């Protein structure tokens, strides 16, 4: 793996802030930050069913991580947080990390509005369709 | 007041303390230097000069801290009898040894941290991907030994 592509939701202020953090921090491998609404993202990753609803991370080899796993991959990419990526994927902490990330992701519009109150009509709130499956990931 | 007359054992206590403190510090620093080099060579595999520089700097810090601390705690209030002199010496050496021990474990922790930082850069991702966009064998990392029991399934529709 030589490169990671992070597909973030550019409609939410929280995600854009996280993108800025990823863009400015030191990483182990080059990151490409693509907004999910862009034509390029749709063209290259249109086959990913979660595109636009969840955080998606793709490697240059075509591996796709979604949701909590994608969040861990972002942590894993940064120099400062790689250790935490492993810590948060241990059986003891993984369920908690997963729940926290799922809650953050589902309420990202509201959190963004709280951070930057300019969405009073909740127009920038995102309501992802519920995903009917277990959110378990597998551990190395 | 003539301090030397009041505590005739103080000078021998100081002398013994000084010899032991300096000797111990040198001995420990040499051990640290010799064994730390092994750790650091592992971390800075491609730049052995860097390993040596970091090792030297750590040892210099160790010398400065320990000799400085030993000098600071040297002053004793007095030792009028030989028994008291031994007690004063034992107390000072004990304090010095405990502080040296703390420094030593701190140094070991530093080595561990430095080594871990180096190892971090080559570790594989902590989670398996949920899907693969292009078909083909895994290239960068080995395929999982068994298929994940419960993977992220695509949403219906």
Set of chain B residues whose Cβ sits within 8 Å of the Cβ of A66: 130-131, 152
Set of chain B residues whose Cβ sits within 8 Å of the Cβ of A46: none
Task: Tell me which residue in B134, B139, B144 faces A138 most closely, judged by beta carbons.
Answer: B144
Task: Tell me which residue in A62, A89, A134 faces B150 most closely, judged by beta carbons.
Answer: A134
Q: Do B120 and A45 touch (CB under 8 A)?
A: no
Which of A44, A60, A93, A140 is best to mutate for the B interface (most B CBs within 10 A)? A140
CA dist A115 and A14 (Å) reads 8
Q: Which range of residues forms the domain containing residue A97?
A: 4-138
CA dist B37 and B43 (Å) reads 10
Number of domains in chain A: 1
What is the pTM for the complete model shown? 0.60
Set of chain B residues whose Cβ sits within 8 Å of the Cβ of A86: 123, 126
Which SS3 state, helix, strand or coil, does residue B120 take?
helix
Q: Searching chain B, which residue's CA lies closest to the CA of residue A71?
A: B127
Identify the band that residue A42 occupies on the pLDDT scale cut at 50, 70 and 90.
Answer: confident
Alpha-carbon B40 to chain mean position: 12
List of chain B residues with pLDDT < 50: 136-157
pLDDT digits (tens, 9 = 90+) for A71-99: 999 999 998 899 899 999 888 898 898 88
Tokens 């636009």, residue located: A52
Question: Which pairs from A34-42 meet CB under 8 Å and 24+ separation?
Answer: A34/A5, A34/A6, A34/A7, A34/A8, A35/A7, A35/A8, A35/A9, A35/A10, A36/A7, A36/A8, A36/A9, A36/A10, A37/A9, A37/A10, A37/A11, A38/A10, A41/A7
pLDDT digits (tens, 9 = 90+) for B58-104: 899 989 998 999 999 888 887 788 888 888 889 988 988 898 889 88
Q: Chain A contact for B121, CB < 8 A? A: yes
Torsion of CA A104, A107, A108, A109, to 10 degrees: -170
Set of chain A residues whose Cβ sits within 8 Å of the Cβ of B137: none
Angle at B67 between CA B61 and CA B72, to 5 degrees: 125
pLDDT value for B10: 83
Set of chain A residues whose Cβ sits within 8 Å of the Cβ of B146: none
């Amino acid at each position: 793996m030589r490169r990671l592509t992070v597909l973030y939701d550019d409609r939410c202020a929280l995600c854009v802030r996280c993108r800025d953090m990823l863009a400015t921090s030191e990483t182990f491998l080059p990151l490409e930050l693509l907004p999910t609404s862009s034509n390029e993202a749709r063209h290259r990753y249109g086959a990913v069913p979660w595109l636009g609803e969840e955080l998606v991370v793709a490697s240059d080899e075509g591996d796709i991580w979604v949701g909590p796993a994608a969040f861990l991959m972002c942590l894993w990419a940064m120099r400062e947080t790689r250790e935490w990526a492993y810590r948060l994927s241990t059986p003891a902490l993984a369920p908690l990390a997963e729940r926290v990330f799922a809650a953050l992701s589902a309420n990202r519009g509201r959190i963004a509005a709280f951070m930057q109150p300019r969405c009073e009509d909740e127009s920038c709130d995102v309501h992802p369709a519920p995903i009917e499956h277990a959110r378990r990931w597998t551990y190395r | 007041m003539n301090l030397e007359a009041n505590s005739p054992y103080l000078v021998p206590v100081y002398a013994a303390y000084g010899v032991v403190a300096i000797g111990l510090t040198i001995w420990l620093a040499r051990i640290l230097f010799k064994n730390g080099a092994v750790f650091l060579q592992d971390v800075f595999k491609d730049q052995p000069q860097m390993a040596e520089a970091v090792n030297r700097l750590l040892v210099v810090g160790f010398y400065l801290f320990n000799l400085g601390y030993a000098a600071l705690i040297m002053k004793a209030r007095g030792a009028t009898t030989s028994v008291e002199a031994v007690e004063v010496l034992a107390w000072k050496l004990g304090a010095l040894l405990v502080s040296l021990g703390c420094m030593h474990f701190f140094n070991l922790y530093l080595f561990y941290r430095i080594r871990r930082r180096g190892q971090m850069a080559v570790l594989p991702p902590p989670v398996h991907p949920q899907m693969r966009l292009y078909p083909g064998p895994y290239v960068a990392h080995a395929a999982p030994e068994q298929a994940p029991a419960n993977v992220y399934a695509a949403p219906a529709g």
